[in-house]
Chain A
Amino acid sequence: MLRFILTRVSLIIPTFIGITLLAFFLIRLVPGDPIETMAGERGIDAARHEQLRKEFGFDKPIFVQYGIYISRVLQGDLGKSLITQAPVWEEFKALFPATMELALCAILFALAIGLPAGILAAIRRNSIFDHGVMGISLTGYSMPIFWWGLILILVFSVQLDLTPVSGRIDVLYYIEPITGFLLIDSLLSGEEGAFASAVEHLILPTIVLGTVPLAVIARMTRSAMLEVLGEDYIRTAKAKGLSRYRVIALHALRNALIPVVTVIGLQVGVLFTGAILTETIFSWPGVGKWLIDAIFRRDYPVLQGGALLLGIVVMSVNLIVDLAYGLINPRIRHHR
């Protein structure tokens, strides 16, 4: 097991370097330069442009810039945003909890509905329920997030007046961020109704962001279950006269969950991509919106830092999933 963990962890280093390289050079391939963007509508004259390039160090050869960047990163300095001048880490720290809160809710929502739906669909294979689940999940999977979000707002917020339109909490509440997780902060604030307001605001974005993972999890669970249900040991279990419930819950489910856990790990990346759009529609102040703005403003330090930090989060989650996978499935760690 130790060797397994070590190999897994050692993979992180090249991945890490890869991310810094990609984040650093890809954004520089995108046309447009940050100084032009900073000058806004009015443009900037050549001499001033040159002077500012020097101020920001963009006049140095690109590999030298990369070297400086890496040495700073290794010292824990991600740089400052070109636009706001706030340290990238500070901005990330302030915004990430919002994304995290939303992503956690979305994945829980996806699991809460996706798992049972997938299991039931597998058990009642070819029934109307099965076809229904598969049809709906395919629709959910192909739903454009932007459109889906607006539809939900129109129906549930504007027409039915059940949920608020956007934001994280009613503007009447003045909540000082303590943990950054509004569900917790609103409770800590002691303001009556703040928690309820935070929950209300979470409903629609959770559904929108959770839709794709839900569809994937439902489909994955179903096919994993079907595969397991066809195995010899299930037949043996049934032959032994075990109840249907015991066969499914104890024997089949445990084994079927193994591939599903991997899929959940992979969905973390998908969640962050989805968060970019979801956050924009619902005015959700998270890292997705932050990165989008950084792209438009050619805010190199934010993009580099943001990609790196999100990369670390995704890598860590995948590492945990891998390790968990190794725990539930001993074959993985021995057969390699």
Chain B
Amino acid sequence: MKKSALLAAVCVPAFLAAAPLSAKTLVYCSEGSPENFYPGVNTTGTSFDASTQIYSRIVEFERGGTKVLPGLAEKWDISPDGLVYTFHLRKGVKWHSNKNFKPTRDMNADDIVFMFERQWKQDHPYYKVTSPNHSYFDDMGMPKLLKSVEKVDDYTVKVTLNQPEAPFLADLAMEFAAVQSKEYADAMLKAGTPEKIDQEPIGTGPFYLVQYQKDAIIRYKAFPDYYGGKAKIDDLVFSITPDASVRWAKLQKGECHVMPYPNPADLQAMEKDPNVTILSQAGLNIGYLAYNTQKKPFDDVKVRKALNMAINKKAIVEAVYLGSGIPAKNPIPPSMWSYNDSIKDDPYDPEAAKKLLAEAGFPNGFETDLWAMPVQRPYNPNAKRIAELMQADLAKIGVKAEIKSFEWGEYRKRMQAGEHQMGMLGWTGDNGDPDNFLHTLLGCASAQGNGSNVAKFCYKPFDDLVTKAKVTTDVAARTKLYEQAQVIFKEQAPWFTIAHAVQLKPIRKEVVDFKLSPFGRHTFYGVDIKGK
């Protein structure tokens, strides 16, 4: 650091002639290159991190939380039947500019309509640009949900839904709903280079893109006209560093200030480093083992309960998550509203498990398969190791489990098709709404076909609750419904809930007010840096 600081002192004046000498630069050691700068077609956190600095959304999540706050829309009205949302837009919101495009107008209703239509109307000129796969838009059910999106005047947009949808606002705070400039899009279409809007992005967010070199660097500058006020740092640099140990080396040396996804093996050294602080927060996620409830013998709740009692959860979490996970009892994480803390987890009790198994007609156990993901996921650091531990526990009650694995894409596809008997998977929340877990992962609708309900769990009393909660807009009433749903979940045991992974973020001491996002995002608006 000493040397590069000296170097910097010598060179900064030379190349930042126009910028103030006290420019504050924050370097983030990101883990990979973004796919592009259009979150509407992206699915990875890496890509979202890169684009989220640039764009604004109609509404925003509060920094470090899941609460929905005004964004480009200053305020909104919801009709009493929950079907019509009228957004009143902020005036005077400026767009970024670059060498190909100088905006002539502020953000207005046309841009909001463009955001919806680009992902919604298959005949829209931008629908297929970059990719026709609008993953999150589709997955949040937008094509079915939206009835119409109309511009009332320049600063009012009316969105009509086909049915009430409680998580709708939270959905609009997600990355896929990033608002792009219609004027820029039109200009690029005319120039015959529509894909430019996703490669050289223009947004209304706190930072604008200055330079992107694939696999090397993403360079941003604070946007002085940002509607929320200029960011505290002047320059934001993503130094792309794929290897976790190398990221740690860079953090130690001060070559970067914030690093994501530390290697668990390095954590001890990080705790000892006086220049580094480790922030931690239970992530919005769950890792679980799903029983295929439509296949024998897992169609019998006694079998599922027995297995839940046979596996030593505490041992697994301690051995595999290494202090970066907390044992899970509910299908939603404790940081989420409506989490039912009065629920008791199934005890670890092999004897009782054996008894229950005998009652179900399997006194000598049975043979089954146990699927383990081939890759490390945020909610599950080492599925194969967990599978081995589970296999050993199950053997004690006579259940012989054969561990299986496939290439990751294949694995998920086959699980979703229901080819497994037991299999591990997990989920990271998108919008902070319990619906996103309980209905998406355990409702009847997603148990069909290739839905994400891999337990193929379709149980009417449970489904009734989560479907009702989905169309109720009153939060207190929804909370009650979800709490009840968690009781039924525990009784029916479609999953063995493993753990909620804790998010650990080593940052350097000079970083001020960096907040962990429950969604696992990295945003730098509001962050400051000391001593520069």
Give A contacts to B, CB under 8 Å: 30-33, 35-46, 48, 51-52, 55, 82-86, 91, 94-95, 98, 150, 153-154, 157-158, 161, 164-168, 170-174, 177, 191-194, 196-197, 279-286, 289-290, 293, 298
Contact = CB atoms under 8 A, between A and B. Distances in A.
Contacts of B249: 153-154, 157-158, 165-166
Contacts of B36: 83-85
Contacts of A282: 246
- Shortest 7 CB-CB distances between A and B: which pairs? A40-B43, A285-B215, A285-B216, A36-B409, A32-B409, A31-B407, A32-B407
A191 B11 contact: yes
B182 interface: no
B449 A36 contact: no
B4 interface: yes
Nearest to A289: B215
B217 interface: yes
Interface in B335-370: none
28 contacts: A30-B407, A31-B410, A36-B413, A37-B408, A39-B133, A41-B43, A41-B427, A42-B135, A42-B136, A46-B450, A48-B133, A82-B131, A85-B195, A85-B198, A95-B215, A158-B249, A161-B2, A166-B246, A167-B255, A171-B219, A171-B237, A171-B255, A172-B4, A174-B15, A283-B215, A283-B240, A286-B215, A298-B409
B413 A293 contact: no
Interface in B1-22: 1-4, 7-8, 10-12, 14-15
Interface string B412-450: 110010000000000110000000000000000000011
Contact of A171 (B12, B43, B239, B246): B239
B81 interface: no
Contacts of A192: 10-11, 14
B311 interface: no
A329 B378 CA distance: 59
Contact of B15 (A40, A45, A191, A284): A191
A45 B213 contact: no
A158 B214 contact: no
Contacts of B211: 174
Contact of B408 (A32, A52, A55, A153): A32
A172 B11 contact: yes
A166 B244 CA distance: 12
Given A157-B253, A171-B217, A36 B410 contact: yes
Contacts of A31: 406-407, 409-410
Interface residues on B, range: 35 or more
A46 B451 CA distance: 10
Contacts, number: 176
Contact of B35 (A30, A41, A83): A83
Given A166-B255, A193-B10, 4 more contacts: A31-B407, A52-B132, A173-B15, A289-B215
Interface string B231-257: 000000101111101100110110100
Contacts of B43: 38-42
Interface stretch (B25-33, B109-117, B302-310): B25-33
B17 to A, nearest CB: 11
B452 interface: yes
**Which residue, B35, B219, B428, has most C-beta atoms of chain A within 10 A?**
B35
B104 interface: no
Contacts of B138: 48
A192 B449 CA distance: 62
B14 A191 contact: yes
B128 interface: yes
Contacts of B139: 42
A242 B65 CA distance: 84
A111 to B, nearest CB: 28
B44 interface: yes
Contact of A172 (B1, B12, B132): B12
Contact of A43 (B195, B237, B246, B450): B450
A84 B32 CA distance: 14
Contacts of A150: 243, 245-246
Given A43-B450, A192-B10, A158 B252 contact: yes
B8 A290 contact: no
Contacts of B492: none
Interface in B120-172: 128-133, 135-136, 138-139
A45 B449 contact: yes
Interface of B is mostly: mixed
Interface string B218-239: 0100000000000000000101
Contacts of A40: 43-44, 135
A55 B25 contact: no
Contact of B452 (A32, A43, A168, A284): A43
B33 A293 contact: yes
Contacts of A283: 215-216, 239-243, 246
Interface in B481-518: none
Given A39-B133, A161-B253, A165-B253, A290 B214 contact: yes
B242 A43 contact: no
A43 B3 CA distance: 48
Contacts of B450: 43-46
Nearest to A194: B11
Contacts of A167: 216-217, 239, 241, 255
Nearest to A280: B242
A167 B239 CA distance: 8
A327 B18 CA distance: 56
Contacts of B210: 174
A85 B413 contact: no
Nearest to B375: A296
B275 interface: no
B138 to A, nearest CB: 7
B98 interface: no
Most chain-B CB neighbours within 10 Å: which of A85, A194, A290?
A85
Given A55-B132, A150-B245, A283-B242, A170 B44 contact: no
Given A38-B133, A158-B252, A165-B250, A289 B11 contact: no
Contacts of B8: 170, 172
Contacts of B409: 31-33, 36-37, 298
Contacts of B255: 164-167, 171
A177 B10 CA distance: 22
Contacts of A84: 35-36, 199
B323 to A, nearest CB: 23
Given A191-B11, A283-B240, A165 B246 contact: yes
Contacts of B239: 167, 171, 283
Nearest to B255: A165
A174 B27 CA distance: 14
A43 B15 contact: no
Contacts of B253: 157-158, 161, 164-165
Nearest to B416: A43
A317 to B, nearest CB: 24
Nearest to A55: B132
Contacts of A91: 214
Q: Which of A48, A167, A172, A193 has the most CB of B within 10 A?
A: A172
Contacts of A286: 215
A166 B27 CA distance: 13
A168 B216 contact: yes
B253 to A, nearest CB: 6
A32 to B, nearest CB: 4
Given A165-B249, A170-B8, A94 B195 contact: no
